[in-house]
Amino acid sequence: MKCKKVLRLLPAYLDGEADEGRKSEIERHLAGCPACRQEFEYLKVDMELFAQVEVPELSPYLFTRTMAEIRNPERRRVPTGILVRRALAGAAAAVLVAAGVWVGSFLGGEIQGGSENGSSWYSVESEPSLEDLYGLALGENGNGDDGEVR
Amino acid sequence: MPDALDGEVREATGKEVVDLKRAPDPDADLVARSKKGDLCAFEELVRRHQRPLFSYVYRMLGNPDEAQELTQVALVRSWDKLKGFKGDSKFKTWLYRIATNLCINKVTRRKPTTELPETLVGPETEEPEAEYRRRQREQAVRAAIDCLPAEQRSALMLSMYDNMRYSEIARAMGKTVRAVDSLLFRAKVNLRKNLAAARRKGIV
């Protein structure tokens, strides 16, 4: 197994989620690769750091408040004011949509073909490149290891 | 990286099936009674889950007041929607899904945090050096968590603190096992980046 694949699988390996076959491949690789071993150590250190985040005490009133809320017969009744506001918001949205359709049909000729190249308006968040990980691993080594990726 | 993950994900999916067969839901009886309107049974469910649920929500939001409020909302909502719970997952997983959706909505509505603070808060009073360092470290870690996108944060918290398997996280987040694996990979790479400045300064 190459470094690239090992680095990608290390977080799952650390979480005990790598299957047996891959686990032994990763372990064999780690035994012979100082750069990946170093990266694995960094990953463990990071996770230990996060394990130290303290959580404040739970309020003793949370339970009482939760059960009181559940037992409250008024809870599901929506106040009239909110119903009126919701109706007004719905009407406003309908007017905006109608206006949008009208403007769209008016300008339709001008924007036709604007997306001929098929490019998307949005970008999907992708995984960071493995170079990010290598860069980090190598940048933090600081031990003279050339960190060559095999 | 689909090629690198195929084996891992297939295996994890297989485990999911096995896990479901082997591990009965310890809350099943209480859930059944609660569904019939037994509030005492539901009280017991609240007692069992409120603390870990609050911890999860707090780690997601970083604010104790918001965390208390959102935990309460999640628990009340679970009561309201209990009749719709079919038992396809454990009650705990289903409850965490409700909380996860609430947390992700809350986090994504906040002004996005794109950068870590350049300087961390210094000591306001003369406190022992060790305590000051501990607080600095905690602030750096908290800031690194706050910079993670909401879904990565959620997957990481469920994995680290609630000891959920990837298959259970997938259910709690409404994702596939492969998506969870990818979220966790990205979360861990991003954490490393987010901590880099603090690490250079010797804070962590």
pLDDT tens-digit profile of B52-63? 999 999 999 989
**B4: contact with A, CB 8 A cutoff:** yes
- Which among B144, B157, B147 has a CA at the least distance from the CA of B60? B157
- Exposed, middle or buried by CB within 10 Å (0-12, 13-18, 19+), for A63? middle
Chain B residues lying within 8 Å of A43, measured CB to CB: 188, 192
Interface subset of A 2-31, CB within 8 angstroms of B? 4-5, 8-9, 11-12, 15, 17-19, 21-22
Give residue B159's pLDDT: 92
Interface predicted TM-score of the whole assembly (ipTM), two decimals: 0.76
User: Mind listing the pLDDT tens digit for each residue in B81-134?
Assistant: 999 999 888 999 999 999 999 999 999 887 655 455 444 555 555 568 888 888
Give residue A133's pLDDT: 52
User: How near does any CA of chain B get to the CA of A110, in Å?
Assistant: 35
Name which of A12, A56, A58 is nearest B8 (Cβ-Cβ): A12
User: Mind listing the pLDDT tens digit for each residue in A73-127?
Assistant: 887 655 555 556 767 777 788 788 777 777 777 665 444 433 333 333 333 344 5
**A51: contact with B, CB 8 A cutoff:** yes
Give residue A6's pLDDT: 93
**A37: contact with B, CB 8 A cutoff:** no
User: How near does any CA of chain A get to the CA of B104, in Å?
Assistant: 16
User: Mind listing the pLDDT tens digit for each residue in B61-70?
Assistant: 989 999 999 9
Interface subset of B 44-73, CB within 8 angstroms of A? 46-47, 50-51, 54-55, 58-59, 64, 68, 71-72
* Per-residue pLDDT at A135 exceeds 70: no
**Which DSSP category does B83 fall into?**
G
User: How near does any CA of chain A get to the CA of B88, in Å?
Assistant: 22
Chain B residues lying within 8 Å of A138, measured CB to CB: none
Determine whether the interchain pair B193/A8 forms a contact, defined as Cβ–Cβ distance below 8 Å. Answer: no
A142: confidence class by pLDDT, cuts 50, 70, 90: very low
Give residue B160's pLDDT: 87
**B159: contact with A, CB 8 A cutoff:** yes
- What's the gap between Cα B178 and its chain centre? 18
Determine whether the interchain pair B75/A66 forms a contact, defined as Cβ–Cβ distance below 8 Å. Answer: yes
Give residue A81's pLDDT: 58
| Spatial separation of the C-alpha atoms in residues A41 and A150, rounded to whole Å | 19
Determine whether the interchain pair A52/B137 forms a contact, defined as Cβ–Cβ distance below 8 Å. Answer: yes
Torsion angle defined by CA atoms of residues A89, A94, A97 and A102, in that order, rounded to the nearest 10 degrees:
-140
**A97: contact with B, CB 8 A cutoff:** no
Contact B18, B61 (CB under 8 A): no
Average pLDDT, chain B: 84
| Spatial separation of the C-alpha atoms in residues A12 and B15, rounded to whole Å | 14
| Spatial separation of the C-alpha atoms in residues B155 and B27, rounded to whole Å | 23
Give residue B197's pLDDT: 86
Most trustworthy range by pLDDT among A81-85, A89-93, A144-148, B10-14: A89-93
